[in-house]
Structure 1
Amino acid sequence: MVIEAEGLTKMYPNQRGIRDVGFQVRRGDIYGFLGPNGAGKTTVMKIMVNLCRADRGKVRLFGCDIAADYEKAMRRVGVLIERPEAYNDFSAYRNLEMVLRYYPELRKSRIDEALELVGLGGFKHEKVGRYSLGMKQRLGLASALLSKPELLILDEPTNGLDIEGMVDMRELIVRLAREEQMTFFISSHLIHEMELICNRVGMIYNGKLVREGLMSELVSEQHPTLEHYFVALAREERRERAHVRL
């Protein structure tokens, strides 16, 4: 198993957070982690890579506990969470040169490979400060891909991309999963985008994982699209919460 999350709970002073979230991701999965803004997606992902400590629960990546053995757990993982950071006064190439220092086993040619993969090869010597939001998102993905990870954890990877950029991102993810046997864990609130590429999904709402399963199981005659299914689940959750308050 590539990812195993068990009983993840993290509550903030405002009483928002996540409660008892658990799921598994298998090798080769493109796993969509879906939910509205504020549902808890980023909190779960930060716990997964030890940027945030859970109140309870545990995460294992490739069988290694992320809290107990961080370096071993993260050795084969690429991450892009929230806004990608870069030095605006440096070029994309120079930014990736600095990242490459953490991977002495990689050749410098890997920088060009990563930039070409995300469509920035022709802009590699341009200062990042001149980049659009979408271009910065692509650079963040190139940085996550630099080490040739076996697992890529992406938080809203299509954020800031135009329609063509979204299509390019989808095609890249599908190609890497197919040709490189890369596993993806992708959060998004854009359900239609995820429906086009994911084979498995987990749906989070108000900090609670309300459904998990194969895409083929969730989309049916009763729920012809994933969006239709999620809206039905959300309405059911709201009714249950209203009944509890009564």
Structure 2
Amino acid sequence: MNAEIALDIQGLSKTYRNKRGIDDITLQVARGDVYGFFGPNGAGKSTVMKIIAGLIKPDRGHVRLFGHDVGDQYELAMSQAGVLIEKAEAFEYMSGRRNLELAARLYPGLPKTRIDEVLELVGLAASGREKVGHYSLGMKQRLGIACALVSKPKLLILDEPTNGLDIESMVEVRELIKRLAAQERTTFFVSSHLISEMEMICNRIGILHEGKLIREGGMAELLQESGQSLETYFVAQLRIEREGARHESAAVQYH
């Protein structure tokens, strides 16, 4: 891959006490991509996201953000990344603007105009002075993305950004991602279990099943292979995986 690599994951593995986790995940995300990390609930998406964000440590493997190792060079690695893991959290008794001002204090040297820029970007310019407690779910999620954007990161890592949202709010977040990718050239690594969402916003996708990356490629390529939709392709891939697992199990029993 000749393009600048925003996210480089090599041989990432993590096993929990219940034997679930992820196994040997390797992938790369180029600058400017909107990469969809798709899989059913429990596939291991959040584990990968938390390792990328430095919230948990892997058993094996490494993660690099723009060439900086998250394990050894955490501050350098995260200096160009914004992270939103699942539900956006905010002080509901404060305004959206005040929440952003608090987030901005973590990044000395940011121009004062950045708060207004971010509010405009996420479509909250008119409601920035309202208390967050009065925001809709979609507005709260957009505020969470705004907090992740305040440092002007090159890479935004979003874990299930539309989880629990109503249809209108899902559309708001989807349009925001597409707009930021087009206008700001922000790179996105977005996880979801909603395959229709991935199909509408991503140019590349990785499919995770039971902790393993079973397929990766460009959206156009995968849709061409399926002949119909990403949903059709995913179901076909799962059947292949399950059939392979059955054959493996039968071979072990035979021997």
In the alignment, does 2:217 pair up with 1:208? Answer: no
Does 2:55 align with 1:51? yes
Which TM-score applies when normalising by structure 2?
0.91
User: Alpha-carbon deviations, 1:97-140, whole Å to 9, x = none?
Assistant: 11111122112222222122222223222222333332221110
Alignment counterpart, residue 19 of structure 1, candidates 13, 23, 39: 23
- CA gap of 1:221–1:40, structure 2 versus 1, over 3 A, is closer
Greater shift, 114-123 or 7-16, is seen at 114-123
Summarize the alignment of residues 31-70 of structure 1 with structure 2, pairs less than 5 Å apart: 31-70=35-74
Amino acid at match of 2:66: F
Q: Residue 137 of structure 1 contacts residue 159 of structure 1 at CA under 8 Å; is this kept in 2?
A: no
Task: Tell me the residue number matched to 1:190.
Answer: 194
Mapped pair 1:135 → 2:139: yes
Deviates more, 1:117-126 or 1:194-203: 117-126
Q: Distance in 1 between matches of 2:75 and 2:104?
A: 17
Partner of 1:71: 75
Q: Structure 2: how far apart are the matches of 1:16 and 1:115?
A: 40
Distance 1:16 1:243 in 2: 22
1:158 paired residue number: 162
* Gap regions ≥5 residues in structure 1: none
Q: Give the corresponding residue for 1:145.
A: 149
Shift of 1:155: 0.9
Sequence identity of aligned pairs in percent? 61
1:165 CA drift (Å): 3.0
> CA RMSD of the aligned region, Å?
1.6
Any unmatched runs of 5+ in structure 2?
A: 251-255
- Assess, with a 3 A threshold, how the Cα gap between structure 1 residues 92 and 45 changes in structure 2: closer, same or farther: same
How far residue 222 of structure 1 moved from its aligned partner, in angstroms, is 4.1
Give the stretch that moved more between structures: 3-12 or 114-123: 114-123
Matches of residues 222-237 of structure 1 in structure 2 within 5 Å? 222-237=226-241
TM-score with structure 1 setting the length? 0.94
- Contact kept? 1:134, 1:160, Cα under 8 Å: no
Match of 2:97 among 93, 97, 106: 93
The equivalent of 1:123 in structure 2 is 127
* SS of the residue 2:72 aligns to: coil
Q: Which residue of 1 aligns with 2:171?
A: 167
Which letter does structure 1 place at the counterpart of 2:50?
A: K
1:18–1:207 contact (8 Å) kept in structure 2: yes
- Once residues 81 and 9 of structure 1 are traced to their aligned partners in structure 2, the CA distance between those partners, rounded to angstroms, is 19
Q: Which deviates the most, 155-164 or 44-53?
A: 155-164
Q: Tell me, in whole angstroms, the C-alpha distance in 2 between the residues paired with 1:222 and 1:27.
A: 27
What's the CA shift for 1:216? 1.6
Match of 1:3 in 2: 7
Which of structure 1's runs of 4+ aligned residues deviate more than 4 A?
Answer: none
Per-residue Cα deviation, 1:63-119 (whole angstroms, up to 9, x for no partner): 111100001111111111122221122121111111111122112222222122222
State the shift of 1:212 in Å: 0.4
Letter in 2 for 1:147: S
Partner of 2:183: 179
Q: Is the 8 A contact 2:9 2:64 kept in 1?
A: yes
Report SS of the residue matched to 1:58. Answer: strand
Q: Is the 8 A contact 2:155 2:187 kept in 1?
A: yes
What is the letter of the counterpart of residue 84 of structure 2? L
- Between the two proteins, the alignment pairs up a number of residues equal to 246
